[in-house]
Structure 1
Amino acid sequence: MLQHQLKADFQYCENMIKKHSKSFYYAFSGLPAEKSYAVYAIYAFCRIADDSVDENHTTAAKKTALKQLRNELDSFSRQEEPDYPLWRALRHVFNTFEMDIQPFYDQLIGQEMDIYFSSPKTLQELEQYSYYVAGSVGLMLLPIIASEKQQELRQAAIDLGVAMQITNILRDIGEDYYEKNRIYLPVTEQLRFGYGEEKLVDGIIDDSFITLWEHLAIRAENLYNAFTEHLAKFDNDSRLPVAASANVYRGILDVIRENNYDCLSKRNFVAQERLEQIRA
């Protein structure tokens, strides 16, 4: 049974995921307590990494915040971490599961790519970026949800993370452009399908936009399918929550389709009723 301080530390992490990702929380709260706590701690680390970039408004501030987090991760790797809820919780996770610290560093590389952002030139570059910011999360989670077949399932975990990140990008095209001045759609694909910034700035959703969007969505769906082929190899107690998380994110693509591809002015999400059907 977790001691009082550790319970408070994991509560801090749980509150973070409940606030920022209700769908992710909904899926993984179905894990056994020890595993769900571990997922919450990993999410909290990734959330803080993401906020280091997105919540600071100057390049200097972003770099300073990310450098501080990297220094704390360095200290953690030496077992000299700060006496802070996130790190106390992660220490318990590392003491409990056979964790690999490299994906945590990879996550920070992904966040650094956003500091020096430029649109990916190709789909391959987009998927490389997606590995660092999301595929790395899949690798962080593997020791918890696939305790006996970590090595065998590495690619499946990466596939799921990349699929989820492409889904996020397709959901947030408008938000990323209008609020962050970022276009994650690969330049070669923009040219191929005839949809670029000159249309995005006016919020145009036409056949070229839909064709480009579907091209990337189909890639994400193929990655979801590749992941699903390996689902039976995950831990018995983790299989359903992992499948639910994949299905929730995949469901976002269908919601956008149902909303006539409006991901420029509308926030698309899976409704509570559908979430319950997915997890059932």
Structure 2
Amino acid sequence: MSPDDYCQQKAARSGSSFYYSFLFLPKERRRAITALYAFCREVDDTVDDIADSSIARTKLHWWRQEIAAMLAGQPTHPVTRALQPHLTIYDLKGEHLQAIIDGMEMDLDQTRYLDYAGLQKYCWHVASAVGILSASIFGVTQPATLAYAEKLGLAFQLTNIIRDVGEDSRKGRIYLPVNEMQQFNVTAADILNARHSENFEKLMRFQAERAERTYDEAMALLPKADHRAQRPGLMMAAIYRTLLAEIVSDGFHVLTQRISLTPIRKLWLAWKTYVRG
């Protein structure tokens, strides 16, 4: 199996909304973004799938060394072998790849965030850094496009946090800021024991409204000159905003179920965004 085939299988198996936007890219950009996505999946799975934090930390350290080896032109893993040819072409920075690993390591060190500022820092590492790298692959001619990508990554992660409240709590993690939970009289025990309440709905509505504002702020930053090149990110935004609307209309029943869109609906939303230009 070639490195590209390995990354393609990794991306396709995930069923992620991101995968559907890749389908509309030219071949070389599609190869690059698929390799980047496979890297993100590898390091994310290291934290999610390994119960022993010391082993997970050791594997993340190995990935740090592998990124350094890739930057030196000596990758050994199929993902880094697939990604390495695209580094110079798309100006992909090693510091952003290492920042993603930093974010994964934060999950080993921290399961609560006291306030939104702390949560934003985490989101920057696990999502905004990915957004910057992705936008670079899609095509950037204006500096503001990277600011757009950074903000859009934050919006995606805020949506993920809302969708995955119950799933994350079963892993012992709560990404809702502690001071905001206190503001709405929702306790950690309420989340961990899946107690849906009117207060919980108010808390989640507050989170959803912030996510929506963040999408709007991101879109306002995207320069017209790069709009067409950045269509894959806009496709993802269409899918994620539709998902967020579904969660809202369902009354935020996210403690005991994972609300998602069907593959055909994701593909339809991606296609509609693509043809709109």
Query: What is the TM-score when the length of structure 2 is the normalising length?
Result: 0.92
Residue in 2 that maps onto 1:46:
40
1:87-98 aligned at under 5 Å gives the runs 87-98=80-91
Distance 2:222 2:9 in 1: 28
Match of 2:256 in 1: 265
Instruction: Establish whether residue 239 from structure 1 lines up as the match of residue 230 from structure 2.
Output: yes
Deviations 1:31-69 (A, max 9, x none): 111111111011011111111211111121111111111
SS in 1 for 2:126: helix
Separation in 2, partners of 1:86, 1:201 = 36
Correspondence 1:125 to 2:118: yes
Q: Is it true that 1:249 corresponds to 2:240 in the alignment?
A: yes
Maintained 8 Å contact 2:208/2:248: no
**Who is 2:208 aligned against?**
217
The verdict on how the C-alpha distance between 1:44 and 1:273 changes in structure 2, with shifts beyond 3 A counting, is closer
* Runs of at least 5 residues in structure 2 that lack an aligned partner in the other structure: 273-277
Contact 2:112 2:178 in 1 (8 A): yes
- What is the correspondence of 1:99-248 to structure 2 with a 5 Å cutoff? 99-149=92-142, 151-178=143-170, 180-233=171-224, 235=226, 237-248=228-239
Alignment-mate amino acid for residue 80 of structure 1: Q
Identical pairs, percent = 30
The change in CA–CA distance for 1:207 and 1:263 in structure 2 (over 3 A counts) is: same
Q: In the alignment, what sits opposite 1:32?
A: 26
Q: What is the alpha-carbon distance in structure 1 between the residues aligned to residue 225 and residue 127 of structure 2? A: 19
Which among 2, 5, 9 is matched to residue 3 of structure 2?
Answer: 9
Conserved 8 A contact 2:11-2:38: yes
Question: Given that residues 146 and 233 in structure 1 are in contact (C-alpha distance below 8 angstroms), is that contact kept between their aligned partners in structure 2?
Answer: no
> How many residue pairs align between the two structures?
271
Amino acid at match of 2:38: A
Cα distance in 2, alignment partners of residues 190 and 36 from structure 1: 41
Q: Is the partner of 2:194 in helix, strand or coil?
A: coil
The residue identity in structure 2 corresponding to 1:32 is P
Q: Could you tell me how far apart the structure 2 residues matched to 1:236 and 1:123 are?
A: 30
